[in-house]
Amino acid sequence: MVRVLVNLKEEFLLSTEMKEYENLFTEQIRNELKYFTEYRIAYQEIWTLRNVLNVLQWDSEIILPEGGRVERGSQIGLLSGLIHSKYAGESFYKLAERAREENEQKNLPGREERKIEFERLFQDLDRSRRLSQELVEEFSVTTSKAHSIWAKAKRENRFVDFAQILSKIVELSKKQTECYGYQTEAYDALLENYEPGQTAKDLDKLFFNLKNSLKPLIAKGKKSRIRF
């Protein structure tokens, strides 16, 4: 559920940014930036598929009947792989490269904004292209299946029922870190997906300071006569 909400939040924020950015995408730009226009059309298709995937994930975690989970997992895995093949594929990458070069060569309105867009795009593309389609599909199917197992295990207070598939998720996550690469800790590679530039060491400092700040507050709460 948290993963789906994060995805939906990211899509909403990005869609808001894109709506504001569309104001710069005039008829002149469409006519003079041929590759950029083709790139935006291709990206919009990928964007739409991602939104469809988010709806499938949301539905599977909220209202999907138990009998439909196996089929839904297959749908999510297939769609995740399709999105990855389109986004990380050679065709889209080369189109984006041509669009970036075209933007550099022509000094048209919105040039700097497009430059920033390409910087963010290629940072994400370079990471995505390190993952195989098979790994993306397997991870999506596994995490989709894991949610219902976790929910049932939580209700019945039986962690042992969730342990096996959790181990599978950890195993697949480790494979992702090997694909991404890292310098110090494996978790740094995964953290980059959510907090670019942050490391596990940074989080250790954050939680250490948070822990020390909470200690006196907790002690004070224990002495209070007010009960919650």
Tens digit of each residue's pLDDT (9 = 90 or more) over 151-160: 999 999 999 9
Q: Sorting pLDDT into bands at 50, 70 and 90, what band is 9? A: very low
Which residue segments constitute the domains of the chain, with CATH numbers given? 2-223 (1.10.1370.30)
pLDDT of residue 137: 98
Mean pLDDT (the chain, rounded): 89
Element (H, E) at 198: none
For residue range 59-89, list pLDDT tens digits in order: 998 888 988 989 999 999 999 999 999 999 9
Enter the pTM of the model: 0.80
Handedness of CA 164, 189, 187, 175 (dihedral sign): positive
pLDDT at 224 exceeding the cut of 90: no
Q: What is the maximum alpha-carbon separation in the chain? A: 71
Give the pLDDT score at 2. 47
Q: What are phi and psi of 88, to 5 degrees?
A: -95, 0
